[in-house]
Amino acid sequence: MKNLISILTIILFTNIVSAQMSIDVQAKGAANSTWLLNKNISDKGASQDYAAAWGSSYGVAANAYFGMTGVGIEFLYSTHNAAYTGAYSINDISTGSYTSNVKLQTIQIPLMLKFQSEKGAYIELGPQLTNISSAQFERNGELIGVPFNDEKEVTDLYTGSYFSGVLGFGSKIAFGDLPLGMLVGLRLQYSFGDLMGVDGEGYALGSEEEPGFWHPTHEPTQAVSGGIVIGLTYTIN
């Protein structure tokens, strides 16, 4: 196995040295379906369930290609939202319901390994560091006919940063013979570790060392997203 890895490394290095280098500078944005998943929430049934949520990101990227292989780094300002719905009841008699959401403001820094074809199609994968700058919780509903609204900042209940695995693919569409082009693609992200945070009612999910009061058996929280990426790219050969 070590010999195989060494051979592949030598082949990749040889291709990089002998290939023509090009640089892409990009401005890009994305619209994503975003989720915060936790088994303690999943096990709540009708009293607490997931709902569709949407987020966005925008920023800049720089990629260096050596022939068909490249590496890239991006700096993205992002919003990662999570939404929930729930029902209150006593002895199976409905007493109310609510909707809630969590809004994470983040800075994402993906470091990507890229492969592209001569016609501009590409596939990318790599790790991403995400820093959470703020987290806001909001809940609206009614209980026994009385409406309520609950808002609070929950930044301190989330981890400060986390890593994700990123997979994407798409195409660069050139504007004729110009170095400018349009970027269109799809990107999926799944976090590793534990974001901690709150559930759909705003109660702390806690950590492995300090489980939340309402969730004494701790389960990790994962951030998941997938969406469409569009942008402009400028290529320097």
The domain segmentation of the chain, as residue ranges, is: 21-236
For residue 202, is pLDDT > 90? yes
Residue length of the chain: 237
Q: What is the pLDDT of residues 52-67, one digit of tens each?
A: 999 999 999 999 999 8
Alpha helix ranges (H) inside 1-100: 2-18, 39-42
Contact yes or no for 134/102 (Cβ under 8 A): no
Task: Specify the pLDDT at position 119.
Answer: 87
Task: Specify the pLDDT at position 8.
Answer: 43
pTM: 0.86
Mean pLDDT of the chain: 91
Whole-angstrom distance, CA of residue 109 vs CA of residue 129: 5
Q: In this structure, what token pair is assigned to residue 15?
A: 């291709």
Question: Within 10 Å of residue 89's Cβ, how many Cβ atoms?
Answer: 12
Q: What is the pLDDT of residues 2-23, one digit of tens each?
A: 554 455 455 555 555 556 788 9
Task: Specify the pLDDT at position 223.
Answer: 98
Answer positive or negative: Cα dihedral of 125, 126, 127, 129.
negative
Domain 21-236 sits in CATH at 2.40.160.20
Looking at residue 20, what DSSP letter applies?
Answer: P
Question: Within 10 Å of residue 99's Cβ, how many Cβ atoms?
Answer: 14
